[in-house]
């Protein structure tokens, strides 16, 4: 009996060491109320939010410090539900990010009891109601992004108490009323303001000129602001672009500081405004409305439109005829010298076959040589001691091919240039890729190449060609892209009937392409990690997909080629393949012309400014628009002389030539689109303004094109 008692005591002591179940802490319980308020979680973002846990610090989207919740971030997960008021009881909460979900309802008042909140990012939902006055309690708030919701009411006066606020983004809502007093005097830390596409009214606060830390665009467009433009806005940093378009502003445009040298797109849609850069002079007591519809952008003063039906003659403000003749003669002599040098070096270096064009296209047989993608696979014996050797390096998780599969694939030459050869490569499983070979050399610059190419590989946009993988060795550098099937925009505009199966682009197709290119540039300029500049935009590197959607290609190629050593590698030709000409034909006349005469798409300042600017791309885009409107090459033949397309359009405008003399003949069937074509011509001429400061930014160009499409629907 005694032994049984001892055994019982032993078992009792053993069981006492089993740790009891610890209940979820208070903060976890608060977060479970958030989970319960989300009625749909299709991606299971909160699937591991369990009441059996000791704390919520391991839950998806939750960040803790010292076992205390400081951040809730669940963006882009299609969450459907509302925000509970209990979130305000998370005393150390610093960051809330629910962007691009399907949240609805109002902002709970108690949310603003989390007075340490530094960022509140809720854009891209369906939230509504007004912003509570309690927002003034958030003295540490730095980022407030409520854009693309259904908020209404006025901006609370207490917002001016958030003196650490750096980004205020309220665009695409239904906010009304005036901006609170002290808006500029108190929010001196602001770096970004976007109030566009609301219904704000009243005058623009004069103290906004005190916001000396602003960057980028101060966007007040598409509201109901009235009265005059405060001259104090000119005190903002000169690098700031001020967008006041589509309001009810009136009076003269102040020509001070940041308001000077701005293009018309910053002020259009305000029928009462007058003065430079608009076409409404301020000489009259009652400034008149410009002859073009207010919803369309205006040409700068130096680009008057001959197509507005005014019938008024204007003096030619350009160069005299003698000066033009002198310039043209000088250009012709220079062109001849460049041509001789080009021919000499090309024949010495490339050993060019007289029976083929520069893309390897056999003129007599109508076929193109298929060249093998057989390159030297670098081995240890070919590498220096300081260079790393890589296999094929994927830049995308979806890459399912390897180097051996690439080597076994069928390859057809799509084109050649000084930066290398481009192949169409068809893998054994049918996947089609575009592979560009860069030159040999650059053996000591692998790390630089790797950094540059991996940054480019992160770019993802429907209108930018995706770089999927790369290969590096001393002897070979390969870039592997998505294959875009319908050739280049240059081919679509300029290849003539009879050479290939040719279907002219309709005006609606051209508008679709114009907007797609603009979207791609807006992404590169504003939303890519480094706010890139393309620097070499032209129709030959804009590729067209199955539905004619445009894809900007060759981004960053010049720098990669420079690192890799440049030059076209020697290829080993194998066999001749009669592939369909329409799959290969490029705009040969365009390439040949621009190679000899220089790039007709480059902004004038590129000859003297070393640092690339986004305004370079804006100029190139403007030339592309002119090319799509006129159907002409960037170099226009005028009698026995040649001039660039921008200059030719200017002469047509000065001479009051009818639109039919300028328009691409293939657009004759789109006569009912004349007003829209003229509007795009004006946008193009604003883009090619000789002064970079007067060119619009690409986002405003895209907005103008979108408004044109909406007005024509």
Phi and psi, residue 575, nearest 5°:
-135, 165
Dist. CA 82–CA 140, nearest whole Å: 24
Query: SS3 helix, strand, coil % of the chain, rounded to 5?
Result: 35, 20, 45
Cβ within 8 Å of residue 304, ≥6 positions away = 279, 314, 653
What is the distance, to the nearest Å, from the Cα of residue 129 to the centroid of all Cα atoms in its chain?
Answer: 32
Residue with tokens 């193109």, as numbered in its chain: 368
Q: Prior bond to 277 cis, omega within 30? A: yes
Q: How many CB atoms lie within 10 A of CB 646?
A: 23
Query: Using CB atoms within 10 A of its CB, is residue 153 exposed (0-12), middle (13-18) or buried (19+)?
Result: middle
Whether the Cβ atoms of residue 683 and residue 701 lie closer than 8 Å to each other: yes
Alpha helix stretches (DSSP H) within 371-506? 403-407, 446-456, 489-494
Tokens 């590096």 locate to: 472
Q: Which residues of the chain have pLDDT under 50?
A: 1-2, 4-5, 7, 9-20, 284-321, 323-325, 327-329, 332-372, 374-389, 497-500, 566-598
Tell me how far the alpha carbon of residue 268 is from its chain's centroid: 23
Task: Kindly state the tokens that stand for 113.
Answer: 């009891």
Q: What are the angstrom distances between the C-alpha of 89 and each of 105, 187, 394?
A: 19, 27, 45
**Residue 536 catalytic?**
yes
For residue 538, give the nearest of 453, 607, 634, 615 by alpha carbon.
634
Q: Tell me, what's the pLDDT at 239? A: 76
Catalytic, out of 536, 617, 664, 703:
536
Q: Provide the residue count of the chain.
A: 713
Q: What is the pLDDT of residue 225?
A: 96
- CA dist list (Å): 391 to 449, 456, 474, 631: 15, 19, 12, 45
Q: According to the model, what pLDDT value does residue 316 have?
A: 40
CA 703 to chain centre: 13
């Amino acid at each position: 009996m005694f032994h049984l008692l001892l055994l019982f005591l032993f078992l009792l002591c053993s069981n006492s060491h089993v740790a009891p179940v610890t209940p979820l802490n208070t903060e976890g319980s608060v977060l479970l109320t958030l989970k319960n308020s989300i009625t749909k979680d299709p991606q299971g973002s909160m699937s591991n939010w369990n009441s059996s846990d000791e704390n919520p610090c391991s839950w998806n989207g939750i960040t803790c410090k010292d076992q205390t919740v400081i951040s809730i971030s669940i963006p882009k997960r299609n969450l459907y539900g509302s925000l509970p008021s209990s979130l305000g009881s998370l005393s150390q909460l610093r960051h809330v990010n629910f962007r691009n979900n399907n949240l609805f309802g109002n902002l709970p008042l108690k949310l603003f009891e989390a007075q340490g909140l530094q960022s509140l990012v809720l854009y891209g939902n369906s939230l509504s109601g007004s912003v509570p006055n309690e927002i003034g309690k958030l003295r540490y708030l730095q980022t407030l992004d409520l854009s693309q919701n259904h908020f209404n009411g006025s901006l609370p006066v207490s917002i001016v108490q958030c003196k650490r606020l750096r980004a205020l983004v309220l665009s695409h809502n239904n906010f009304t009323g005036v901006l609170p007093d002290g808006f500029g005097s108190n929010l001196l830390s602001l770096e970004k303001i976007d109030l566009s596409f609301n219904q704000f009214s009243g005058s623009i606060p004069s103290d906004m000129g005190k916001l000396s830390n602003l960057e980028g665009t101060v966007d007040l467009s598409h509201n109901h602001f009235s009265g005059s433009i405060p001259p104090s806005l000119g005190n903002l940093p000169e690098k700031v672009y001020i967008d006041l378009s589509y309001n009810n502003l009136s009076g003269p445009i102040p020509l001070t500081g940041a308001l000077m040298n701005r293009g018309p797109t910053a002020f259009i849609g305000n029928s009462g405004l007058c003065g430079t850069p608009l076409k409404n002079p301020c000489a009259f007591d009652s400034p008149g409305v410009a002859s073009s519809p207010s919803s369309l952008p205006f040409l700068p003063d130096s680009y008057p439109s001959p197509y507005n039906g005014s019938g008024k003659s204007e003096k030619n403000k350009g160069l005299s005829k003698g000066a033009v003749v002198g310039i043209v003669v000088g250009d012709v002599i220079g062109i001849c010298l460049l041509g001789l040098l080009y021919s000499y070096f090309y024949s010495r270096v490339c050993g060019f076959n007289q029976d083929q064009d520069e893309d390897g296209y056999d003129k007599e047989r109508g076929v193109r040589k298929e060249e093998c993608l057989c390159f030297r696979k670098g081995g240890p014996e070919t590498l220096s001691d300081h260079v790393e050797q890589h296999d094929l390096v994927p830049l995308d998780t979806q890459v399912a091919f390897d180097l051996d599969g690439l080597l076994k694939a069928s390859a057809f030459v799509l084109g050649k240039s000084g930066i290398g050869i481009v192949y169409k490569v068809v893998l054994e499983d049918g996947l089609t890729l575009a592979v560009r070979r860069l030159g040999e050399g650059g053996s000591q610059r692998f790390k630089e190449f790797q950094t540059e190419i991996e940054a480019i590989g992160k770019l993802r946009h429907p209108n930018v060609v995706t770089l999927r993988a790369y290969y590096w060795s001393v002897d070979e550098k390969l870039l592997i892209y998505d294959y875009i099937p319908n050739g280049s925009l240059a081919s679509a505009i300029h290849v003539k009937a009879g050479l290939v199966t040719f279907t002219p682009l309709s005006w609606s197709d051209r508008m679709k392409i114009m907007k797609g290119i603009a979207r791609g540039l807006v992404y590169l300029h504003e939303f890519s990690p480094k706010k890139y500049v393309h620097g070499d935009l032209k129709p030959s590197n804009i590729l067209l997909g199955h539905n004619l959607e445009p894809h900007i290609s060759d981004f960053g190629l010049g720098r990669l080629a420079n690192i890799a050593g440049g030059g076209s590698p020697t290829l080993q030709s194998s066999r001749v393949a009669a592939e369909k000409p329409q799959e290969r034909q490029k705009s040969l006349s365009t390439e040949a012309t621009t190679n000899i005469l220089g790039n007709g798409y480059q902004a004038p300042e590129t000859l003297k400014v070393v640092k690339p600017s986004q305004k370079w791309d804006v100029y190139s885009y403007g030339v592309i628009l002119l090319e799509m409107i006129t159907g002409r090459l960037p170099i226009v033949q005028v009698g026995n002389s040649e001039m660039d397309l921008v200059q030719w359009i200017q002469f047509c405008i000065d001479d009051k030539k009818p639109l039919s003399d300028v328009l691409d003949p293939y657009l004759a069937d789109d006569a009912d689109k004349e007003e829209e074509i003229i509007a795009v011509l004006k946008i193009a001429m604003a883009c090619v303004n000789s002064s970079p400061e007067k060119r619009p930014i690409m986002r405003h160009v895209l907005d103008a094109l979108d408004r044109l499409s909406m007005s024509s629907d």
